[in-house]
Structure 1
Amino acid sequence: MPNKLSDKEINHHLQLLNEKAGDNKWQIKDDKLHKTFTFKSFIRAFGWMTQIAIWAEKLKHHPEWFNVYNKVVIDLTTHDVNGISELDFELASKMEQFCS
């Protein structure tokens, strides 16, 4: 089972993750790792979600997400630890990798 990260650890991981994120940065919102991705079309957003779903299954860690047309709103948290863990940052990193 993963461990809940401290605020200091979260800030460190967030800084590293945002180095890959371009102008649209990840943030902490309501004690979750949060970001909105915008794509050129619905099919691109849905295709990206499909790729991420495969990784989520491999990691056994699933996002809270919401999709309308070309936008996908992401919230990541590890329910087993009641907070943010390294799994959240690992999945967020995959999301960044596949969004370009």
Structure 2
Amino acid sequence: MVREEGSGTRSYQDQLFASLNIQPKTITLSSTQAVKSSVANGIGITLLSHHTVEEELKTGSLKLINKEETELTRYFHLLHRMLSSIQKAHVPCWIFLMKTV
């Protein structure tokens, strides 16, 4: 199960497949929720960010495969509006993200 062309997840999946020199047969879906639902219903396997499947891992509807062997790094950027300082209301979220991401 893979995301649609143009999604960040799909780009990362494609890079991983290329680095492993594999070309798996895939089914393309348009949302992370559709991918998770398909995998939970036994249609296939996928590669998703841990943050997007935390609840499913807690409930047991999805399971990790070889976590130690598939530890991957993906980079994200924290952004805010140009020409603006961070608003006071956004500071707790900013601090949380800086500690956890």
Q: TM-score range by the shorter chain?
A: under 0.3
Q: Which has the higher contact order (CA 8 A, sep 6+)?
A: 1
Q: Which one has a larger percent strand, Structure 1 or Structure 2?
A: 1
**TM-score by structure 1 length?**
0.28
